């Protein structure tokens, strides 16, 4: 669907020759001499890379209609992840490479919002934080009370995060899905 650069909005998805992009920010510029133009900052939906592009005012671009679906992660089938659409109960398999960093935070039964374009996953929205169980970490040493000291802990999804010394195997912790950092004990 073609539309004019004059109608750009933040968050809008574009289908450009270089791939799928989302508008991070844009600015209409009207210089004293010459034609008006639109300066944009675009984020690649697949790689996350941010590029800057300048377009003439009223230049035509292709809008990509992204279908956002609420899905529940059911189980792993080999290396694939099996999701169920929470409105139609339709199941879908997704290879891990299409999910970005989401597999680090998904456990069975968790909800995620999958962004689809032409039947292909182009992005995954997760909750801001998730609760995961610690499967492996060194025991905290008695008397080791260095303020802010951290140790690595392996979580049930295989993700390794730095946690405070008082966290033990079997504890459930909250992890920020945007930064991958420990937040608090759950």
**Residue range 137-148: average pLDDT?**
70
Q: Output Rg (C-alpha) for the chain, integer angstroms.
A: 22
Q: What homologous superfamily does CATH list for 129-185?
A: Nucleic acid-binding proteins (2.40.50.140)
pLDDT tens digit string along 118-134? 888 888 888 999 999 99
Higher pLDDT among residues 137 and 145, named by residue: 137
Identify the sign of the CA torsion 30, 31, 32, 33: negative
What are the structural domain ranges in the chain? 2-62, 67-125, 129-185
2-62 CATH: 2.30.30.30
Tell me the CATH architecture of domain 67-125: Beta Barrel (2.40)
pLDDT tens digit string along 47-103? 778 999 999 988 899 999 888 899 999 999 999 999 999 999 999 999 988 888 899
24: nearest Cα among 41, 6, 5, 48? 41
On the question of pLDDT at 175 being above 90, the answer is yes
On the question of pLDDT at 46 being above 80, the answer is no
Q: Which residue has the tokens 């109608």?
A: 7
Distance from C-alpha of 156 to C-alpha of 170, rounded to nearest angstrom = 10
| Residue 2: strand pairing partners | 62
Identical fold for domains 2-62 and 67-125, yes or no, is: no
């Amino acid at each position: 669907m073609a539309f004019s650069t004059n109608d750009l909005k933040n968050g809008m998805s574009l289908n450009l020759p270089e791939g799928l992009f989302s508008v991070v920010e844009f600015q209409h510029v009207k210089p004293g001499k010459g034609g008006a133009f639109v300066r944009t900052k675009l984020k690649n939906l697949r790689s996350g890379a941010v590029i800057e592009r300048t377009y003439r005012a009223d230049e035509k671009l292709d809008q990509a209609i992204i279908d956002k679906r609420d899905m529940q992660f059911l189980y792993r089938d080999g290396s694939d992840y099996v999701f169920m659409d929470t409105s139609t109960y339709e199941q879908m398999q997704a290879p891990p490479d299409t999910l970005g960093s989401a597999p680090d935070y998904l456990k069975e039964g968790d909800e995620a919002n999958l962004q689809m374009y032409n039947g292909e996953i182009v992005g995954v929205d997760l909750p801001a934080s998730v609760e995961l169980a610690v499967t492996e970490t060194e025991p905290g040493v008695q008397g080791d009370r260095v303020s802010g000291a951290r140790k690595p802990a392996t979580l049930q999804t295989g993700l390794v995060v730095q946690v405070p010394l008082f966290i033990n195997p079997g504890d459930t912790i909250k992890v920020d899905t945007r930064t991958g950092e420990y937040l608090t004990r759950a």
